[in-house]
Amino acid sequence: MNILILDVYPKTTYRISKDQNGAYGTANNYCDGFVAQILKRIVKKSIDFPQLFVVQTCGELMNLGHEVDYSTELDLNKDYDLYILPSSIVCHETELEYVKLLKKNNKKIIVIGPFATSNFQPYLNAGAHVIKGEPEMFFHKFDKTVNDLNDLPAIIENFTIFPLDELNFPGWEIIFKKYTPQMKFIGRGAAITINSSRGCPYSCQYYCVYPLQQGRKLRLKSPKRVVEEMIYFKKNLNVSNFLFRDPVFSLDKNHTEAICKEIIKSKFKFKICVEVHLKNIDENLAKIMKESGINLMYVGIESGDEEVRDDANRTSESNFNQVTKVKFLEKLGIKVKAMYILGLPKDTSHTFKQTVKYAKKIKSSYAQFSVFTPYPGTPIYKEYKDKINVKYFENFTQWELVFDHPNFKTREVTDLLNYAYKEYYLNPKWIIKFILDRIKNIYEGINNRLFRFSR
């Protein structure tokens, strides 16, 4: 079959990532302040990659002999047997318009992804079929012909969930024909996403979208298979930069350590970004992670007020341990991006300003301040559904207040975000640290080039 992965986006001045936020997506429209506008431009130019389940689906279809194309634009002059459209919350209305257009032209459409899994009805109404669950599991044994497409049910579900090691490698070759994915905060050159596990059992599932498709049970990919995948794309696409998309890379410490040791054993040099939970990180594991090539960690701090965090049922370390561990990681040479949330249920203007002060104390290499958002499909959404004050799901960017909050107005949230980014990134101590880090990176780069030249 000839198949098109049609991955559509609205036109914006800021970066949209469908892969972030459990593949519901985020849109980095930080706010309207001077510092935020600069950050918005930097991020848009520095980070670009598709949803990992999309690339995995490409790999499964390729392996079965199907002809697969990937595009972010629709050309109706080209005809395909099947159109597969990845879903998200941040491009939802745009996606529906394309489904309607395809349906009008009598095309066969399947919509995939976590957002459509939990919010399938609008896509069905527009004329698409919807896969509920992990699409690569369905396509792993996709032996359908063109004639079989007419017999597909509107909702495709209850298919086999294969062990992660049994899946084929993601079809990054198809993406590279369109563009080169990048994550410049890890390193120069191409960067691709990968995972070593799926599922997350943490209590923040009340708010979090990750379990909606992956489930709460932790499923692991073997360390050997993880490293085989990395080496394959290093040899075939010259990729040295990898962004792990596990909900929490450090969830199983033994598994994490085994992966890092397998990378070290391979002798390949990679630059790696992971998202971790600080409660899983100790000094010994951190040193092994650094040796394996991990140079950037995302950590969720959420709020500097422990009462605000506890009320939101966030799984977190104490403030003392957060500060201690981030400082140790940074001293070790692992940059940390600390992520904070404005507008948690008990948050106030005062507690958020205390959070900004706390962020300056942590002084991580990067800080992100976003807005608490109740997502459709999560348990908490039922509590907030009648309080939603925006018309479109594309407003659920993670930088807009989309519901009536008892302690905040919309403009106040924007002002507080502007305050946070200005206070953090114009802090003289952070600026000095940034300059020293840049000098260190330049020095290390020169030394590495001289070393390679001398061999």
Domains of the chain: 2-156 (3.40.50.280)
Written as six digits, the tokens of 143 are: 């032996």
Q: Determine which of 80-89, 241-250, 315-324 has the lowest per-residue pLDDT on average.
A: 315-324
Taking residues 257-285, report their average pLDDT: 97
pLDDT given at position 452: 54
Residue 214's pLDDT band, with cuts at 50, 70 and 90, is confident
Given CA atoms 411, 417, 419, 421 in this order, what sign does their dihedral have? Answer: negative
Q: How large a percentage of the chain has pLDDT more than 70? A: 96
Residue range 155-178, pLDDT digits in tens: 999 899 999 999 999 999 999 999
Residue 201 has pLDDT above 90, yes or no: no
Residue 455 has pLDDT above 80, yes or no: no
Residue 453 has pLDDT above 60, yes or no: no
Written as six digits, the tokens of 231 are: 């080496």
Contacts of 378 (CB under 8 A, 6+ apart): 205, 206, 207, 208, 209, 212
Residue 448 has pLDDT above 80, yes or no: no
pTM over 0.85: yes
Other beta carbons less than 10 A from residue 391's beta carbon = 8
Residue 203's pLDDT band, with cuts at 50, 70 and 90, is low
Residue range 342-389, pLDDT digits in tens: 999 999 999 999 999 999 999 999 999 999 999 999 989 999 999 999
Taking residues 58-65, report their average pLDDT: 96
